[in-house]
Amino acid sequence: MSVDLDKIRSSLLAEPLDGHFVQEDGGEGLPLTAAAVLFPIVLRDSGATVLLTQRTAHLRDHGGQISFPGGRVEVEDISPIHTALRETEEEIGLDRERIEIIGFLPEYRTGTGFRVTPVVALVRPPFDLLPDPFEVAEVFEVPLNFLLNPENHQRHSLHYRGALRHFFAMPYGDYFIWGATAGMIRSLTERLGLHPA
């Protein structure tokens, strides 16, 4: 399965839309903290990949999980793009000169009370990374075609806050990509029409 980048560009929102969101199971009615992440598609000669991080285990929010670079909106942030680029620089040291923003996915509301704007971007090698050891245990890349292939999307469930919650996961080697990160990837596959929404 192969998806071309022009099709991805045309499937994205030109700007975040108020009231247009994906709701994660179990997050209904929670107070929401604004956040933004970078969905970085790396243009490798061997094929596009997606750059992901593994968060350090001690972090209060989503410790040990696989995530996109990003975080909560700060007072000085003028837009989701600003938040995503600032957090990406702080977390992994990726120079914004290597990043081309191509659009947005719908806001993603997590079961833990975040409303996340996914900012989709192309990243042009070569680049050097300097991960923040406090926040980031590892940075790695997964082939884009693997992540967008619905055959690699698994349905899982767990008991959380007294109820059964359902979520997607995309295991890749030793990495268990799940929760909000998998949900945002799934959101892109739905916009691309790769499976019914």
Q: Splitting the chain (197 residues) into consecutive groups of 10 residues, what average pLDDT does each group show?
A: 85 89 74 94 96 80 79 95 97 96 95 92 97 92 96 77 72 92 94 76
Confirm whether 197 is domain-assigned.
no
Any domain includes 79: yes
Kindly report the CATH number assigned to the domain that includes residue 47: 3.90.79.10
Instruction: Return the pLDDT at 19.
Output: 79
Q: What is the pLDDT of residue 37?
A: 98
Q: DSSP string spanning 106-127?
A: PEEE-TTSEEEEEEEEEEPSP-
Tell me how far apart the alpha carbons of residues 73 and 84 are, in angstroms, rounded to a whole number.
Answer: 9
pLDDT of 177: 94
> Residue 44: what residue type?
R
Instruction: Write down the pLDDT at residue 26.
Output: 67
Q: What is the pLDDT of residue 168?
A: 85
Within 81-181, strands assigned E span: 99-104, 107-109, 114-123, 136-143, 154-160, 163-172, 175-178
Report the alpha-carbon distance of residue 140 to residue 126 in Å, rounded: 15
Residue 196 lies in a domain: no
Q: Is residue 166 in a domain? A: yes
pLDDT at 63: 55
Looking at residue 146, what is its pLDDT? 96
Cβ atoms 187, 110 nearer than 8 A: no
Domain that includes residue 159, residue range: 5-190
In a domain, 102, yes or no: yes
> In terms of pTM, does the model score above 0.75?
yes
Q: Considering the domain boundaries, does residue 195 fall inside one?
A: no
The number of distinct structural domains making up the chain is 1
Tell me if 67 is assigned to some domain.
Answer: yes
